[in-house]
A and B are shown apart, each in its own frame.
Chain A
Amino acid sequence: MLYLAAWIELGVILGLIAPASGRVTRPEAVAIMIPLAILLGVACLVPFYICGSVPLRAAAWKGLVQNHLLATVIVASAVTFGGRLLASVLDSSWPGVAALFGKAVPVITIFVALTYLLSTALHYAFFEIESARRAELLAREAQLKALKAQINPHFLFNSLNSISALTSLDSARARDMCVGLADFLRASLRLGERDTVPFGEEMALTDMYLGVEQARFGDRLRVARDIDPECHGCEIPALLIQPLVENAVKHGIAMMAEGGEIGITGQRDHDRLLFRVSNPYDPEAPVQARNGIGLRNVRARLEARYGAAGKMQIHATENSYQVTLTLPAQTS
């Protein structure tokens, strides 16, 4: 409604300006300009659909210009044609209007074309701002989820229970575990605030996590690391590896009476990084929500950041589970 009113107003203004040329009277000009302005207003909504389906991309600018010029010509002709039709109808009550409108056609056509192009440009600007805002929102949401998943209450409460047990058994170990847990939580919060972190920092966080779990599970938890030193300088999304290792502990080791070994490997292959976390699991373990939110979140974040260049692959056999991440090697 507001939109329509704005265009009617434009029609009134044009209708008042037009008589300045001295060839038309005010009522005539206003009678033509208002419907014309409404028509133009409707035409200017067209880019909403065209811009939505033809996104701005540098690679396709030729087609883009062609499309929009064609649309401009069609819209300008249509509006001018509508004006002519209206003028010829009004000609019966105000003789001479049609002839006068005919003279004004070039000016009106150019005006309509320019208005339409302006509308297209504004629509693109609107879409760009909108999509940038949405991308930012998505990224923040993913990060928030990662942070939330990070502080897994089950892990926290069980760790606190271990500390409680150690206070009377071995107070020095109780203190070490307190500090280990605090270090891990602090580092999680710090890393969670950042977009990307050096791989070495993420690995340090993973080790802090494993240190706490080691106290809980003792001999049942064994870890084999094989990290290519070249990985260390690379920037990776924060909280990418640690959740995978936590998954391996929670669904693999914790569900095995005799425990098992978690494998963590990192390789750099020219411009690609390959991380792999593997763990054994008991195929007959009590079923719980297996590899739920944690893994989905890692995949979503990889895709959002790297598109096709970021991948998460899962390879599961009868009794082992392996998650492989592939992402571009980026150094800061």
Chain B
Amino acid sequence: MKTLRAIIADDEELARRILREYLSKESDIEIAAECPNGFEAVKSVNELRPDVLFLDVQMPKLDGFEVLELVEPEVAVVFVTAFDQYAMKAFDAAAVDYLLKPFTTDRFRAALDRVRVRLATAAPAPPPRDLKLAARAPGEYLERLVVKDGPRVHVIPAARLDYAEAQDDYVALRSEGRNWLKQQTISSLESALDPRRFLRVHRSFLVNMERIARVEPNTKDTWLAILRDGSKIPMSRAGYSRFRELAGNK
């Protein structure tokens, strides 16, 4: 039997201990790492490439959903958490299984069986890209974005994002004079951010309304948004009319 390598991510020592105890009874499992917070979880998963990740949702530094956004999608994820009504949808969407604390050995074994089946059939997990969407309550928007910065993780509060530009499968995020690349479509980013603060001014550009200093006509049917730092963002005709509508409502 192939040995499965597992990582445990939970900020509570006792919560990690019970997983370790249950896992130690399985002959085909080896624990690769235990992580007490989200940063370490991302680092360990990307470095050690485990087969399975047992992931708590509420953790310091990064929450479980943010961790999922930042790790390679091949790992089979089992959420281990106290009940959270909004998260349930996300569990169904992206995790192999979820365990509600506290759980029995039998329930734990059932989750492991699902992991084994998933890994044996080699069906990749669905991309966790839109996970945060499913995990959010209606009317709630992202307050921060997480991006991978080499082996590290960078957190960008939504208020400090100047604009985002679509680049193929990525978006380039401009914040505090630097660019960050994140694997996400601009449309999914747009729908995750508060539409009263972030405006799609162009097919490829999403702008923080607070950063726009003025708008100038460019060609016949296009405009230019001039940001406070001097950046010039193209505005399409539709983008311009959306801008007028949003600015007029303020």
Contact = CB atoms under 8 A, between A and B. Distances in A.
A326 interface: no
Contact of A161 (B60, B63, B66, B82): B82
Contacts of A160: 101-102
B102 A163 contact: yes
Interface in B115-134: none
A165 B38 CA distance: 22
Interface stretch (B13-21, B187-195, B197-205, B238-246): B13-21
Contacts of B83: 153-154, 157
B110 interface: no
B116 to A, nearest CB: 24
Interface string A277-309: 000001011111000000000000000000000
A256 B58 CA distance: 11
Nearest to A166: B14
B82 A255 contact: no
Contacts of A154: 58, 82-84
Contacts of B109: none
B66 A286 contact: yes
A288 B87 CA distance: 13
Interface string B6-18: 0000011111011
Contact of B155 (A169, A218, A284): A284
Nearest to A255: B60
B18 A254 contact: no
Given A157-B102, A158-B82, A165-B21, A256 B60 contact: yes
Contacts of A166: 14
Nearest to A290: B143
Interface of B: 11-15, 17-18, 21, 36-39, 58-63, 66, 82-84, 100-103, 143-144, 155, 157
A288 B144 CA distance: 11
Contacts of A161: 12, 14-15, 18, 82, 101-102
A129 interface: no
A308 B62 CA distance: 41
A153 B143 CA distance: 25
A332 interface: no
A259 B11 CA distance: 10
B102 A216 contact: no
Contacts of A215: 14
A41 to B, nearest CB: 50
A287 B140 CA distance: 11
Contact of A257 (B11, B13, B14, B84): B11
Contacts of A162: 12, 14-15
B11 A165 contact: no
A86 to B, nearest CB: 58
Interface of A: 153-154, 157-158, 160-166, 168-169, 215-218, 254-257, 282, 284-288
A254 B11 CA distance: 8
> Dominant SS at the A interface?
helix
Given A162-B15, A284-B144, 8 more contacts: A154-B58, A157-B100, A161-B15, A165-B21, A254-B58, A257-B11, A286-B58, A288-B63
Nearest to B61: A257
Contacts of B39: 257
A215 B103 CA distance: 19
A169 B143 contact: no
Contacts of A257: 11, 36-37, 39, 60-61
Contact of B101 (A157, A169, A217, A218): A157
B206 to A, nearest CB: 20
Contacts of A153: 82-83
Contacts of A255: 60
Given A255-B60, A257-B60, A164 B13 contact: no
Nearest to A154: B82
A286 B37 contact: no
A51 to B, nearest CB: 41
Nearest to B36: A257
Given A165-B21, A282-B60, A285-B61, A158 B144 contact: no
Contact of A164 (B18, B37, B60, B144): B18
B73 to A, nearest CB: 21
Contacts of A163: 102
A39 B84 CA distance: 62
Contacts of A157: 82-83, 100-102
Contacts of B100: 157
Contact of B14 (A165, A254, A288): A165
A210 to B, nearest CB: 16
Contact of B143 (A158, A165, A287): A287
B66 A165 contact: no
A218 B14 CA distance: 9
Contacts of B60: 254-257, 282, 285
A160 B101 CA distance: 8
Contact of B144 (A254, A256, A286): A286
23 contacts: A153-B83, A154-B58, A154-B83, A157-B100, A158-B101, A161-B18, A164-B18, A165-B14, A165-B15, A169-B17, A169-B21, A216-B12, A217-B12, A254-B11, A254-B60, A257-B60, A284-B61, A284-B155, A286-B38, A286-B58, A286-B59, A286-B63, A288-B58
